[in-house]
Amino acid sequence: MGNNDYIKALLTPRTNGNKARTRRVWSIDLETVWLPTFMASNTVGDTAIPQEALGAPLRLAYGKDGAVKFNADGKPIIRVAKEISDNVRIIRENFVANLLAYAGAIQAEHTDDYKAQVELSQQAGKAIIAHDRDELSKAIEAKLEAEAKAKAEAVAEAEAIAKSKPKAQKTKEAVSA
């Protein structure tokens, strides 16, 4: 099957020495991946993304009234050019379709092996699921106990305050008389 090499290449770990935080679109770097890819695809005629979008991929966001938008921190909101984000969306949709086609083809060609893989994975996961369920039950129980204890302490404190108020008022009245 021709897609096998493509999928193997996708699953091969790659090192990326550039760990600086940059603008990402679909979790992929805009400057070092998307722009060169779209410029290359424009070069050979696979896409027709406007030069303005490639030259100025980040844009200020504007409201319906034409005013610049700001976030809650007072920083201006920056958007990726619509033409770039639209093409990334198309790539994402096609990527998902290709993954589903790959999985479907493998299921059809290797039905028994695929079923065995599913069963083995489910069996291997049972211990983890059981452990997580037990830990979650313990955590919920501990949380409920802590909340009940805090509530009981708050009630006891409120009762203690309520009992001490009448004495304080009697003392206050005795002093003023």
Read off the pLDDT of residues 47-86 as tens digits, 9 standing for 90 and up. 999 999 999 999 999 999 999 999 999 999 999 999 999 9
Range scoring the smallest mean pLDDT among 5-19, 114-128, 136-150: 5-19
Of 108-117, 128-137, 162-171, least confident by mean pLDDT is: 162-171
- Distance (Å, rounded) from C-alpha 94 to C-alpha 44? 20
R_g of the chain computed on alpha carbons = 31
Mean pLDDT confidence for 111-133: 97
pLDDT of residue 1 exceeding 60, the answer is no
Distance CA(6)–CA(48), nearest Å, equals: 25
DSSP 98: H
Locate all alpha helices (DSSP H) within 30-110, ordered by sequence. 35-43, 51-55, 82-109
Tokens of 147: 């909340």
Q: Which residue has the higher pLDDT, 9 or 51?
A: 51
Q: What is the pLDDT, as a whole number, of residue 11? A: 73
More confident residue, 136 or 22: 136
Whether residue 171 is predicted with pLDDT greater than 60 in this model: the reply is no
Q: What is the pLDDT of residue 8?
A: 75
Q: What is the pLDDT of residue 39?
A: 97
The C-alpha angle 26, 32, 34, rounded to 5 degrees, equals 45
Tokens representing 173 are: 């009245």
Q: Tokens in use for 26?
A: 């679909």
Give the mean pLDDT of the chain: 89
* Residue 17: predicted pLDDT: 55
What pLDDT is attached to residue 175? 58
Contacts of 107 (CB under 8 A, 6+ apart): 114
Average pLDDT over residues 146-155: 95
| Cβ neighbourhood burial of 42 (10 Å; 0-12, 13-18, 19+) | middle
Q: How many helices (H) and strands (E) does the chain have?
A: 5, 4
Question: How many whole angstroms separate alpha carbon 78 and alpha carbon 24?
Answer: 12
Q: Which residues pair with 25 in a beta bridge?
A: 28
